[in-house]
Amino acid sequence: MLDLLKSLADPCRLRLVAVLLAGEYTVQELTRIMGMGQSRISRHLKILAEAGVLSVKRQGTWSYYRVGDENVFFTAIRPAFERELEKLPQRNRDLAELGKVLEERRQKSLLFFDRHARQWDTLSRTLLPVPGYHDRLLSLIPADATVVEIGVGTGAFLPQLASHSSRVIGVDHSPAMLEEARRRIAADGVPGVELRLGEMTHLPLEDGGADCAVANMVLHHAADPLKVLVEMVRVTRAGGSVVLADLARHEREWVREQLADQWLGFEEEELVGWMETAGLEKVRMEHMGAEGREGVLLVRGIKSGRPKRKSSKSKGD
């Protein structure tokens, strides 16, 4: 308890914790958000990590910091602590800078996909091959249901999804990708598909508007994966399902530049934890692998039919 209180007894470290309660950020991003030098930020992060307030996720040469749960006392006081952090004098300024970092992540992804829409299928298939998983993914999605696919890209999964579902709504933030998807479904004569332009964190769909929300190889491109999952849960009806297919953790750092990946895949427990935090129950995970190919994680969770208890603020806010 003494170590924890000492680690928090500094205005800069309080600001850091407040920022990291909203997501995961690198040291470089935190220096920009906080307006401080890297050595100073690194020292504060080290103190908070040693006290168990923060945890570090290493992805290649990058390290992402986030609020952890190793310190039992901090976990106990966290709800009241979060409320007080909103009163920090520089809170609005930090939130504005945090927003700029997330927008930069988003813009980088948007520019990449707009530029490479025509070549995307070839790029992704040849640069980072994965085992065949579409049939297994489809089996996790309820039949004859209203399904929203997040990040449809060029629409590679839409024909299978449309043949399986009564209605499909496809969402993507890249106009160029949506145009490729339109060409595909027109050429294949795929009925029952509606394409919409929208962000993963602000889906153009009403609350509970879908029986199932699907993200197929999308989450590793997201600036804030947890926020995407929270939004997917929002648009899913009570008792409906959220289904993911994404890369298992790997060390191919070049994908950041060549495929616009934000994350080098995910750990199984990480995805399960996020889905439960987002409000999903009965989360089930399956790991598919094949020699010479990157592993694929298939995950499904069910949205609770019970109303969620109110909290001071969600992690995705």
Task: Specify the amino acid at residue 204.
Answer: P
pLDDT score recorded for residue 116: 77
Per-residue pLDDT of the chain (317 residues; tens, 9 = 90+): 888 999 999 999 999 999 998 888 899 999 999 999 999 999 999 999 999 999 888 877 788 898 988 888 998 999 999 999 999 999 999 999 988 988 888 888 878 888 877 777 787 777 778 889 999 999 999 999 999 999 999 999 999 999 999 999 999 999 999 999 999 999 988 888 999 999 999 999 999 999 999 999 999 999 889 999 999 999 999 999 999 999 999 888 888 888 888 889 999 999 999 999 999 999 999 999 877 788 999 999 999 876 444 433 433 43
Q: Which of 260, 27, 285, 239 is nearest to 140 (CA)?
A: 285
> Cα separation of 52 and 48, whole Å?
6
Tokens of 271: 């995805």
pLDDT score recorded for residue 316: 41
Please report which helix (H) or strand (E) contains residue 102, including its range: helix 91-116
Within 10 A of 56 (CB to CB), how many other CB atoms are there?
14
Phi, psi of 68 (to 5 degrees): -100, -175
Under CATH, which number does the domain 2-89 receive? 1.10.10.10
> Cα separation of 173 and 157, whole Å?
17
Under CATH, which number does the domain 120-303 receive? 3.40.50.150
Q: Which of 66, 153, 149 is nearest to 109 (CA)?
A: 153
pLDDT score recorded for residue 311: 39
C-beta of residue 160 within 8 angstroms of C-beta of residue 147: no
pLDDT score recorded for residue 71: 87
Tokens of 228: 């995407």
Tokens of 246: 């994404």
For the chain, the domains span 2-89, 120-303
Tell me the CA end-to-end span of the chain in Å, nearest whole number.
Answer: 29
- Residues in Cβ contact with 80 at an 8 Å cutoff, skipping those fewer than 6 apart: none
